[in-house]
Amino acid sequence: MALQVKMRKYMHQSKFYEIPPYLLFLFLFKGTGFQSKNSYLFGHFSMRMKLVGGDSAGVVTAFYLSSQTNEHDEIDFEFLGNRTGQPYILQTNVFTGGKGDREQRIYLWYDPTKGFHDYGIIWNMDMLAFFVDNTPIRVFKNSKDLGVKYPFNQPMKLYSSLWEADDWATRGGLEKTNWANAPFIASYTSFHIDGCVASTPQEVQVCSTRGLKWWDQPAFKDLDGEQYRRLRWVRRKFTIYNYCSDKARYPTPPIECSRDRDV
């Protein structure tokens, strides 16, 4: 019992930060960002954001988790700006052991520059699930049994940043950033961290122990039926790119795609 009390004392952190509108600015070739102090291994992470309005071509607003190793793990939300009147693109990606190239892209079903919306990640030993306003938009399953690496042993910090990427972000780099519109501003009102704090091998081992946290209970091993219905709706109505379906890039789909029910 003493060990269990000690583990829970230093392992689990659940914090909801409600803040006055916090702004990130992008000036000419100078972006901004912030990060968590702690690193986490598994949990629920979310950010309430309003994206850059107007002509935001070439501008990327990012919310992601990343480890700090050469063969790093990373879980990405990247919002790709566009010309005024054209829709934002939300790109998600998953890096494991330093390997990414797992991009999926969707349009959003609302204007993300007109109000604040919630973007979240549930990360446990069975799956990564990406959510927009509690609607699942992507699931990446643990496929270690198929030989696919999964982020299970590298603690990650939470980051958000605003930066210029006009060499690729908008129409493959055809649309360049109009710096006459600077500063570009992304706004935040809250973020939520409910994760297992891990910075030592001992803490990593404890965070990897099943059954101690709510996100590691059987109900969170997979999406439920209603969540899959919503995911299919997103796939059918809003998906514009999925690496699993890119036959020119991958004549044989990556093996983890066999676990994607909706491809």
Give the catalytic positions in this structure: 74, 78
Which amino acid belongs to residue 199? S
Residue tagged 């600077």 (tokens): 182
Candidates 54, 87, 60, 59; CA nearest to 76 is 60
Which DSSP string corresponds to 112-136?
A: TTSS-EEEEEEE-SSEEEEEETTEE
Is 136 exposed, middle or buried, given 0-12, 13-18 or 19+ CB atoms closer than 10 A?
buried
Nearest to 73 by CA among 187, 149, 167: 149
Contact 227, 136 (CB under 8 A): yes
